[in-house]
Amino acid sequence: MKKVLLGVVICLLFMTVSVSAMSESKLLDKLTAKYDINGVTFQLSESDRVLAKRYLDENEVSSSDADYIASKIDEAISAMKDSGAKDFTDFTKLPSALKTKLKKLVQDVASETSVKATVTKDNVVIYNTDGSVFAEIDGLVKNTGSKVNLVVPAAILVVTVGAFVLVKNVKANA
C-alpha cells in the first residue's frame, strides 16, 4: 500500500513539474506564433521573441500564470480580429474600442500575475521576479531624437505582461 501511495505521489509531483514546463513552452509557442488577423500575417519580431524567451528562461512562470497569460493572448487576437483593423503598428491609431479592450487585457495580466514592470520617464523597465532588472525597453536605436522607432506596444506589452497585443507586420496574405 505504501509503495502504491509513494508511486502515486511521485507521479503527481512529476505531473506537476511537467504541467508547469508544458505551460511555459505553450506560452512561448503562443507568443512566437504567426497569426492571421484580417488577412494580414503577424508575428513578433525576432528581437521581441528574444526578449520573451529570455524572460521565460529567467523567471519561473507558474502554470496558472502561464495559462492565464495564454488565455489573454487568445482574447487579444480575437479582439484584434473583431475590430477589422489591419494595421497595428501604431497603437494610438487603433479603434478606441480595441484600445480599451487591449488595455484591459494588459491590466488583467498585470494584476493577476507576478510580472513586475514600471514606467520610468520615457521607457518601461521590466523586472525579474527576484527584483533585478530584466530589461529597459525604450526603442532599439539609441540616442534618436524621435520616438518613431519606439515600438511601445509590441516590446513593452509582450514582455511586460506576456500579452500578445501588437506585432509588426510581417507579410500580407496573397
Partner 1 sequence: MHKKRKFSKKAFVTYVAISFLFASLFILMVYFGLNSKIVRYTSLINTVAIKKSDKDKAVSFDKIKKKLTSYPVYGTKYANIKISKIDLSLPVYFGDNMEILSHGVGHYAGSYFPGEGGTIIYAGHNNRGYFDKILNLEKDDKIIVETGYGNFEYKVDKTKIVNENDLSAFSVQSEKEELILYTCYPLGVGHKTERFLVYAYGDNYE
Partner 2 sequence: MSKIKIVLRGILGFVCSVLMFIFAFLLIIRVTVYNKNYVLKKLDQVNYYEKVYSEISKDMKNNMLSSGLDEVVLDSLFTENDVIKDTKNLIGSIYSGSKFEIDTDFLKDRLDKNIKDYLSKNNIEVTDQKALDKFVSNIVSIYKKEIGLYGYFENYTKKFVKIGKFIDAGIVITIFLIIILMAVLRFVLHRKYLGVVLLSSGMMLLYFKFYIYEQIDMKNILIISDSFSKFIKQLLLDINNYILISSIVLLFMGIFFNVICAFKKVKRRKKIS
CB of 115 to partner 1, least distance (A): 7
Residue 122 binds which entry of partner 2, partner 1, none, with Cβ cut-offs from 5 to 8 Å by kind?
partner 2
In a 3-state reduction of DSSP, which class is residue 133? Answer: strand
CA–CA gap between residue 24 and residue 170 (Å, rounded): 25
DSSP for 21-74?
Answer: HHHHHHHHHHHHS-EEETTEEEE--HHHHHHHHHHHHHS---HHHHHHHHHHHH
Residue 121 binds which entry of partner 2, partner 1, none, with Cβ cut-offs from 5 to 8 Å by kind?
partner 2
What single-letter amino acid sits at 141?
V
Element (H, E) at 144: none
**By CB under 8 A, is residue 138 in contact with partner 1?**
yes
Residue 140 binds which entry of partner 1, partner 2, none, with Cβ cut-offs from 5 to 8 Å by kind?
partner 1
CB of 74 to partner 2, least distance (A): 29
Q: Considering only 36-44, 82-90, 112-120, 159-167, which stretch makes contact with partner 2 by CB under 8 A? A: 112-120
Are 80 and 40 in contact by the 8 Å Cβ rule? The answer is: no
Residue 69 binds which entry of partner 2, partner 1, none, with Cβ cut-offs from 5 to 8 Å by kind?
none
Strand partners, 169: 42
54: cell is 529570455
CA–CA gap between residue 42 and residue 26 (Å, rounded): 18
Are 113 and 69 in contact by the 8 Å Cβ rule? The answer is: yes
Contact set for partner 1, span 86-115 (CB under 8 A): 107, 110-112, 115
Between residues 76 and 83, which has the closer beta carbon with respect to partner 1? Answer: 76
Contact set for partner 1, span 35-94 (CB under 8 A): 45-48, 50-51, 54, 57-58
Which of 13, 17, 140, 170 binds partner 1 (CB under 8 A)? It is 140
Contact set for partner 2, span 128-157 (CB under 8 A): 143, 145
